Structure 1
Amino acid sequence: MIHSICILGDSVAKGVIFDGVKNKYRLLKDSFAQIIASQNNIPILNLSKFGCTISTGEEILKKHEGVLSRYDYTILEFGGNDCDYNWAEVSEHPQKQHICNTPVPDFLDKYKELITRVRQSGGKPVLMNLPPIDPKRYFQWISKGLNGKNIMNFLGEVDRIYRWQEMYSTAVEDLAVKEQVPLIDIRSCFLTNGNYSDYLCEDGIHPNEKGHLLISKAIRENVLV
């Protein structure tokens, strides 16, 4: 029986959503972590942070390594910010070579090190892949106040955003196999539930309340069984 869980990741794991009414990001009261905690009476330490990349995750882990052994599992959720670009720079200089926040080779090296450190601290790592994004919504979102034409020139086509982000999700899945770490496949939960965009906020990338329900179900089925 699972008695406690630690979570380390980005805004998805933190439970951040975009509130279209208030036109700002906010924490969802019934995030997947809160749902798991309340429905299963399990204390959860959520160390996740908005905008967190794998490098930021390493710094957060350094501060909390001493407590990981107290938790049955440490769920790691990274990649969404690592694959992102500085869109303002892309908008201004679309012909230049732009590098995302964490290129895949660096992302995998840092993620592998993170897994090792969780284990060395007495924790049991579990990886979570990425929810799919809606490329059209996300393109509109990142283009606000910028030169959308220039960004599109850099991308070539809007669906490249989806494939690029998907590459990071696949990299996480492959890493889980290589490092023999359990994987919570939340991506399939979205893709197999009709129009997956219905489970995303209007920014096209953050799961909405319905999306967090899907994630909580995936965790129950993969971790709490």
Structure 2
Amino acid sequence: MPSRHDIVTFHDPPVPPGASPWVAGAGPSPDVRVVDPDPTWPDQFAHLAAVVRRALGWRALVIEHVGSTAVPGLPAKPVIDVDLVVADAGDESSYVGVLEEAGFELRVREPWWHEHRLLRPRPDAGLPACHLHVFGPDSPEVVKHRLFRDWLRGNPDECARYADAKRGASAAATAAGEHGMQYNSRKERVVREIYARMFAATGLTDEFPDAGGSVGP
């Protein structure tokens, strides 16, 4: 399990020289549209989770709906964020092949950041648009994502602040011709402020008041 310190710290290691997080032919999405809440998003997640579970069986330790599409009433980019926990995210041979057979393709490989991998459905797979994030059991990101989702679900004021930040970031990024990573950067300050209040309210920052850093994906 991740330590309390790791949960409240935003790890942002630099990309090693000569490396890239993107696999060949992949790159950040140019689509930064934020749309009104879609009541079918939970059903889309359920379908994706069933596909992943059939492919991996018990190797899928956790399949969690996270991100904005997991918060009722919150506008979002129409892409379902899914956290998948496996025993060893660095062992791609244990899960990538069967997920590819199920309709996904590997797009991001970041062994320097909690062994994170990201898969997306192939265009011809007939699956809902999603980001399938793969982590190991010790990754603090899985805990952060779940806490953030539940905090927004339980705090309408925070949800409204985040909605405003998302719409503003989307409009500005669209006007500037930016991609998804730049959209994320535009809302990072608000996200970090929400996390700080969440960590304080949950008691996680009692011993670590200076925890900070960049917000993960």
TM-score above 0.5, yes or no: no
Q: TM-score range by the shorter chain?
A: under 0.3
Looking at secondary structure, tell me which structure has more helix per residue.
1
Bigger RCO (CA 8 Å, 6+ sep): 2
